[in-house]
Amino acid sequence: MGYKDKIDLLKLPKHIAIIMDGNGRWAKDKGKLRIFGHHNGVLSVRDVVEGAAELGVGYLTLYTFSSENWNRPKLEVMAIMELMVSTIHKEIDRLMKNNVCLKAIGDLDMLPGKCHDELMSAINKTAANTGLVLTLALSYSSRREILQAVKQIAGKVQNGELKIDDIDEEIFENNLYTTGMPNPELLIRTSGEYRISNYLLWQIAYAELYFTPKLWPDFRKEDLYAAILDYQKRERRFGMTSEQVN
Ligand code: FPP
């Protein structure tokens, strides 16, 4: 019996967020260039998206490129952007077939024109799909997301649309990039690093954290299933006692 058969489909995390890490090290271990790791990372993305869609997970959000990643060597940044363009182009039919709705969060205006256009075209094409919502975090920084929410809210207070006393968690969430999505219940990070790296800081307040030493290009749907099973064994107390939640 594989991991998949052991999963309780009634207790799936509604939203899974993943920090895909370790592409560079995976390639280096094989004596290859870092971009070789990114190319193989795409195969993991495809497998994990398919695995999540098959199970019926509602939302999957992948940390694809952080705002800080712009500081990488120019050649690597260009190669990742080109990889993104070609991947989105190649995967669009599969996304349609799997009823996946593609979205993106982050400072998308920073993306090169071709990458931005390819992304927008795929987002528009898949907009009516009703299955898995796959969100790519691109040029993403959680602190910037929070700051822009603060600025938007401050603007509404300034022009009289909103009173300070009315600002609550719901209003705050409505001003984040992720508005309308449930908060992640499971956050996975690969490659044996134990960091959040400026990812969905507000949204993961109550997420279960799962760290695996596997490097991203080695992470496949079976590993996703293992993470979900681990999540299902945990008791989520949200600050209450064990007796209360049971
Ligand atoms: C982290 O590994 C990976 C990235 C910053 C890029 C991830 C991008 C992809 C897998 C391409 C995905 C494309 C689509 C369309 C979703 P790292 O380079 O930080 O690895 P290291 O920590 O070993 O150096």
- Residue the block writes with tokens 């279960």: 208
pLDDT single digits (tens) 203-235 = 999 999 999 999 999 999 999 999 999 999 998
pLDDT band for 50, please (50, 70, 90 cuts).
very high
Ligand 1 centroid – CA 189 distance (Å)? 12
The CATH H-level (homologous superfamily) assignment of domain 13-39+50-232 is Decaprenyl diphosphate synthase-like (3.40.1180.10)
Ligand 1 lined by 84 (C-beta under 6 Å): yes
Going by C-alpha positions, the residue among 19, 116, 101 that lies closest to residue 65 is 19
- Say yes or no to pLDDT of 156 above 80: yes
Measured by CA distance, the residue closest to atom 24 of ligand 1 is 24
Domain ranges of the chain: 13-39+50-232
CA 37 to centroid of chain Cα atoms: 19
Query: What average pLDDT does range 137-149 have in this prediction?
Result: 98
Report the chain's terminal Cα–Cα distance, integer Å: 29
Going by C-alpha positions, the residue among 61, 94, 95, 65 that lies closest to residue 180 is 61
Instruction: Work out the widest C-alpha separation in the chain, in whole angstroms.
Output: 60
Q: Which residues contact 116 (CB under 8 A, 6 or more apart)?
A: 108, 109
**% of the chain at pLDDT higher than 90:** 94
- Say yes or no to pLDDT of 245 above 90: no
Measured by CA distance, the residue closest to atom 22 of ligand 1 is 22
* pLDDT value of residue 235: 84
**% of the chain at pLDDT higher than 70:** 100
Rounded CA-CA distance 18/95 in Å is: 19
* pLDDT value of residue 115: 97
- Amino acid type, 64: T
Region at 128 (left for phi over 0; alpha for psi -120 to 50; beta for the rest):
alpha
Ligand 1 centroid – CA 69 distance (Å)? 10
pLDDT band for 2, please (50, 70, 90 cuts).
confident
* pLDDT value of residue 149: 98
Instruction: Kindly calculate the radius of gyration of the chain based on its CA atoms and give it in whole angstroms.
Output: 19
Ligand 1 lined by 87 (C-beta under 6 Å): yes
What does the mean pLDDT of the chain come to?
97
Ligand 1 lined by 232 (C-beta under 6 Å): no
Rounded CA-CA distance 136/56 in Å is: 18
- pTM over 0.85? The answer is yes
Work out which ligand 1 atom sits closest to the CA atom of 193: 22
Give the residue, out of 39, 64, 189, 199, with the most ligand 1 atoms within 8 A of its beta carbon, to mutate for a pocket test: 64
- Amino acid type, 1: M
* pLDDT value of residue 244: 85
Work out which ligand 1 atom sits closest to the CA atom of 25: 23
DSSP-assigned beta bridge partners for residue 102: 134
* pLDDT value of residue 236: 76
- Amino acid type, 128: A
Ligand 1 centroid – CA 231 distance (Å)? 24
pLDDT single digits (tens) 177-193 = 999 999 999 999 999 99
Measured by CA distance, the residue closest to atom 10 of ligand 1 is 41
3-state helix, strand, coil in the chain (%, to 5): 50, 15, 35
Contact 59, 229 (CB under 8 A): no
pLDDT single digits (tens) 93-108 = 999 999 999 999 999 9
Contact 8, 231 (CB under 8 A): no
The residues annotated as belonging to the active site are 21, 69
Measured by CA distance, the residue closest to atom 5 of ligand 1 is 65
Ligand 1 centroid – CA 122 distance (Å)? 20
* DSSP H/E element including 59: strand 59-66
